Structure 1
Amino acid sequence: MTTRTESVDTPAGEARVTWHPADAARLVLAVGHGAGGGIEARDLQALAAALPGRGITVALVEQPWRVAGKKVAAAPKVLDEGWRALWPALLAAGPPVVAGGRSAGARVACRTAAGLGAAGVLALAFPLHPPGRPEKSRAEELLGAGRPTLVVQGGRDPFGHPDEFPPAGSGSGLDPGLDPAPGARPGPRTPYELVAVPHGDHGFAVPKRADVTQAETLAAITGAVAEWLDRLPLR
């Protein structure tokens, strides 16, 4: 598979998209990174390696602050501004685009998906609250995404354990028109589905003593995401 890199000018500075193309792609999954790392994150790289073979182009998006070599992420408003500005470059590939991200990138995807007309939202390691501060919930960002949404969350994530999330049938009452995914926790009319990753931390790392390996964990993540994408009702 041949990757290519595209620079995109935004009001927040130069953003960068690394394309992992699929032959005859039926969907583009655009995934942004978190505030503490870049597109080298293990889950993002696993998706980029696995999904093109299933007809899904993966676009790994680097926000302007990261491209500029800064160590501190931009403010949420600036992150959203950069994401919106690069969206036309993602649409130019042709197929419908799913907005995705890990951690802070997941929040960006949730906040902007409806306005951009995204086909869906993939939230990897959604930071439901700051570590140790469950009262500072960001659930409304997730529940307000307004598009079919999949959350993939580590069982040991200090930013929110899977059982801390609101019931999948609560919130906006949106009906994404999807059947429940294996291992997911959907309700009959649910704004999102949640897949728990046993033993995974915020970066989906699993301890060596766990009864699953790191490779098995990443395979489970990519499998769950691929299965959900296969069921998305594309317009």
Structure 2
Amino acid sequence: MIVTAEEFEVPTPHGPARVVLETPGLCFGLLVLGHGAGGGIQAPDMVAAQEAAGLLAVARVLQPYRVAHRKAPPPAAQLDEAWASVLAALTERFPDTPQVHGGRSSGARVACRGALVAEPTPIGVLTLAFPLLAPARRDGTRPDRGPEIDAVDDAGIPVLAVSGDRDRFGVPSPGKHREVVTLRGDHSLKAKGPIRAAVGPWLDTLFPGRRDLPGPVE
């Protein structure tokens, strides 16, 4: 399979975001992935998801604060605005192409919030290590982020949530439109093989045509 790789920046209201895009010669759709709060686009679970994508273009998105070499993420509204700018730029490159949005940890939260307002609406959302519970506050309470991923389920958008069984931030529960795969591991989700095995078949359900090809595409 011939794949074209490129890297480019997208202007956003909060500085440039960086996109690493890989596009196969025969492209059935677009998978857009965002990174975790203090990490980058080379996280093992993001790479595994890309490897499972097959005949989909995959865009891994580095938020502007990470492009500027800052570790602490800005407020959620800024992350969401930058994500929306990148989605708009990618939609111009891939008009009329079905999209799946996703990411790991903080990036999964951004993808869930963005899926409800994106145009076009993604046909699926992939969450890797979705942080169901926030870190504990001084009073010991842990705010629930479940409504963010639940809203996608309520909107009827298929979701695949892949989490480690020892994730200190919790694991989402299955929903009407949400499949949950729990793997051995913690929040870092480093086991690339099991991640590929979970993500690939789920993407096949969204893009059944890619399973029906007679052989490898060159």
Q: TM-score, normalized by length of structure 2?
A: 0.84
Structure 2 partner of 1:59: 59
Conserved in 1, the CA contact under 8 Å of 2:65 and 2:74? yes
Aligned to 1:202: 187
Q: 1:179-210 deviations in whole A, cap 9, x for unaligned?
A: xxxxxxxxxxx131100112x111114xxxxx
Match of 1:137 among 137, 144, 150: 144
| CA RMSD of superposed structures (Å) | 1.8
Cα distance between partner residues in 2 of 1:34 and 1:106: 8
User: Higher RCO, 1 or 2 (CA under 8 Å, sep at least 6)?
Assistant: 2
Q: Deviations over 1:37-92 (max 9, x none)?
A: 000111112223342xx211111001111111112111111000100111122222
Q: Answer whether contact 2:51 2:196 (CA < 8 A) is retained.
A: no
Counterpart of 1:21, as a letter, is T
What do residues 96-147 of structure 1 show as CA deviations (whole Å, max 9, x unaligned)?
1111110000000001102111121111000000245675211110010232
Unaligned ranges ≥5, structure 1: 170-189, 206-216
The residue aligned with 1:125 is: 129
3-state SS of the aligned residue for 2:149?
A: helix
- 1:120 is matched by which residue type in structure 2? G
* Distance in 2, Cα, partners of 1:75 & 1:23: 38
Query: Would you identify which runs of 4 or more consecutive aligned residues in structure 1 move more than 3 Å?
Result: 131-135
Residue 18 (structure 1) aligns with = 20
Question: What is the alpha-carbon distance in structure 2 between the residues aligned to residue 219 and residue 159 of structure 1?
Answer: 22
The 2-side partners of 1:150 and 1:134 are apart by 27
Aligned-pair distance for 1:2?
A: 4.0
Q: How far is 1:230 from its partner? A: 1.1
- Alignment check: 8 A CA contact 1:90 1:97 kept: no
Supply the distance in 2 between the matched residues of 1:134 and 1:140 (Cα, whole angstroms).
17
Change (3 A) 1:114 1:193: same
Percent identical residues: 42
Q: Extract unaligned runs of 5+ from structure 2.
A: 209-218
- Going from structure 1 to structure 2, the CA distance change for 1:233 and 1:44 (only over 3 Å counts) comes to closer
2:178 is matched with 192
CA contact (8 A) 1:143 1:191 kept: no
Number of equivalenced pairs? 196
3-state SS in 2 of match to 1:86 = helix
In the other structure, the counterpart of 1:87 is 87
